[in-house]
Amino acid sequence: MAIYKIVELGNKILRERAKAVPKITSNILKLLDNMADTLYSEKGVGLAAPQVGVAKRVVVIDAGEGLVELINPEIIKFEGQETDTEGCLSIPGTVGDVTRAAAVEVKCQDRHGKEQIIQASNLFARVLQHEIDHLDGVLFIDRAKKVWKVKN
């Protein structure tokens, strides 16, 4: 078990487009495992590789229904719209109201290289969009209508 240090706002990796994973290697599997450990240690619901200093298109999510690992995720369908409050492990003490699609369909690979299609709504859809944004160098504060500080 390895816990990564979370990269915070101001680090340029958070503003870069992450690179696709051409081949799933033992290093990618280790990255997935360590990202999951980090996610649970930080009590987050989603974590993208750039948030741990790795510019790869890798995401882990647990929005309450178990761990989901995504390699090279891409949103292929959006539906509806809803606004809710979001925060981010890379921007501690800050939240904001963000409008996102109410439901999404995401194409990705699992840890075995098998292509998956994930259909999501509600919180899971929001977390998918938030984490995939990280892979494109976009932060929730870029999309927020209103941002404010909270006490930790």
Q: Is 105 known to be catalytic?
A: no
How far apart CA 36 and CA 56 sit, in angstroms, is 15
**The two three-digit tokens of residue 44, written as one number:** 């987050």
What does DSSP say about strands 68-79 and 115-121: parallel, antiparallel, or unpaired? unpaired
Catalytic, out of 8, 16, 74, 131: 131
Half-sphere exposure of 37 toward its Cβ, with a 13 Å CA cutoff? 11
Q: 112 among the known binding-site residues? A: no
Tell me what percent of the chain is helix, strand and coil, each rounded to the nearest 5: 30, 35, 35
Q: Would the annotation count 108 as a binding residue?
A: no
Binding residues: 88, 130, 134
Catalytic residues: 131
Annotated binding-site positions for Fe cation:
88, 130, 134
